[in-house]
Amino acid sequence: MGFYYDFEDADGFATGAIGRPGERTFYVQIRGEGRTISVKCEKQQVAALSEYLRNMLADMPDVSGSTDSSTATLQSPVEQDFVLGSVGLGVDRSNMRMVVQLEEMILVDEDDDDVFDLLDESDEDDDTTTVVRVLLTPSQARAFCDTADLFMTAGREECKWCGSPKDPTGHACPRFN
């Protein structure tokens, strides 16, 4: 059976990476109500989430409040609760909040059978996915996007000919092959 976490008034919605460039592990972290949930994800997932949140912010009325970047920074220790699968986004216009829903990745085998169902045939109706739903203020969303931008540009240098990231040990550019 999975878990459902609902953060109506989150203290923090953060992103960050742990490790050296090229070997970093990215996380999204939600803090509030005495709980901390850390979700392992891909760099591209953080970039896409940031891009969509920025687009949503552009469609909302400008309520220029101060942006507190400390709410968008990972707090240690970072302990992975699950791996990110799908992401849902929405707007609660009546409360001027953005809704972000993060769902756990479901592992499937070649026959598209849920691996967890194969491990436990006795309980086929139980949902094994963990879901986190968080309501963000525009200020929290803006701080998340700004922090995500910093981590996206802090990676490895890109090759000026092919655009692929360079390894510190060297780069075999396909354009010179």
| Whether residue 51 has pLDDT greater than 60 | yes
Nearest Cα residue to 146 out of 61, 9, 51? 51
pLDDT of res. 112: 61
| Helix or strand run (H / E) with residue 100 | strand 97-104
Q: pLDDT band at 2, cuts 50/70/90?
A: confident
Give the model's confidence band at 41: pLDDT under 50 very low, under 70 low, under 90 confident, else very high: very high
Fold held by 4-176? Secreted effector protein pipB2 fold (3.30.2450)
pLDDT in tens, 108-158: 766 666 555 544 554 555 567 899 999 999 999 999 999 998 888 766 677
132: β partners:
5, 102
Return the pLDDT at 122: 47
Residue-wise pLDDT for 78-99, tens only, equals 999 999 999 999 999 888 899 9
Segments making up each domain of the chain, as ranges: 4-176
**Residue 40, SS3?**
strand
pLDDT digits (tens, 9 = 90+) for 59-79: 887 665 666 677 778 888 899
C-alpha 16/C-alpha 27 separation (Å) is: 6
Task: With 0.85 as the threshold, say if the pTM is over it.
Answer: no
> Which residue is it, tokens 């092959």?
177
Alpha-carbon distance of 114 to 59, in angstroms, equals 38
pLDDT at position 49: 96
pLDDT greater at residue 154 or residue 103:
103
Find the mean pLDDT for residues 24-31: 94
